[in-house]
């Protein structure tokens, strides 16, 4: 299991990005304590792959033709996995380190587990029962996004929009948002929950730039 494994899973799905969901799929593709734990809870490679294949049908999301990039959530996951490995005296992350990192580093892994009726806590408990060391605090519970809406901006508008969003809805605040690079020509698609005024923020940024 490595970054290459996640990128390969994204390539097979024709996704132009590799995120926590692709790392989870790569983890399930190999036999290990981590994959056995997930399989026992009903999360299998083929079932998750089918869900990601259907989800990847969004025409706005990039395909793999121009290459595959690891997205910010994926890079954050890599850092967590390496940290867990070092804490256990391992030079490189083992599958169980990747799974623990998936449970704690980002909500996307929990979002991938949610359709199976499996919570991050259930996976954490199952790992603990197998003797896998875990952090002292429980993983965050998945909270589905509320009232998702989108706004599209040009490449040069992304940073100013991110700056305003970080000021008004910083990480950890009640209302969530994110973005993806989409389409040809390349544009940035912001997604946010219902109480984030994306259209207003984009209009404000464009007014300042004009």
CA distances from 26 to 21, 110, 156, 164, 202 (A): 9, 16, 34, 35, 37
The CATH class that applies to domain 3-129 reads mainly alpha
Global pTM? 0.79
Of 26, 27, 25, 7, the residue nearest 17 (C-alpha):
7
Q: Are 146 and 193 in contact (CB under 8 A)?
A: yes
Spell out, as residue ranges, where the chain has pLDDT lower than 70. Answer: 1, 55-61, 183-184, 210
pLDDT in tens, 15-30: 988 989 999 999 999 9
Q: Are 55 and 9 in contact (CB under 8 A)?
A: no
């Amino acid at each position: 299991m490595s970054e290459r494994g996640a990128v390969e899973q994204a390539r097979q799905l024709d996704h132009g990005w590799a995120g926590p969901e692709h790392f989870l799929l790569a983890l399930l593709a190999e036999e290990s304590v981590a994959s056995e734990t997930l399989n026992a809870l009903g999360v299998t490679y083929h079932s998750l792959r089918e869900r990601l294949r259907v989800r990847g049908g969004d025409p706005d999301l990039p395909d793999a033709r121009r290459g595959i990039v690891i997205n910010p959530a994926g890079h954050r996951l890599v850092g967590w996995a390496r940290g867990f490995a070092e804490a256990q005296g391992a030079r490189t992350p083992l599958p169980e380190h990747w799974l623990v990192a998936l449970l704690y580093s980002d909500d996307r892994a929990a979002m991938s587990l949610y359709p199976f009726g499996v919570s991050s806590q259930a996976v954490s408990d199952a790992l603990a029962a197998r003797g896998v060391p875990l952090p002292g605090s429980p993983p965050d519970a998945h909270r589905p996004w509320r009232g998702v809406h989108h706004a599209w901006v040009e490449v040069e508008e992304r940073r100013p929009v991110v700056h305003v969003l970080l000021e008004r809805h910083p990480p950890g605040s009640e209302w969530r948002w994110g973005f993806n690079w989409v389409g040809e020509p390349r544009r940035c698609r912001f997604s946010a929950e219902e109480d984030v005024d994306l259209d207003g923020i984009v209009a404000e940024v464009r007014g300042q730039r004009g």
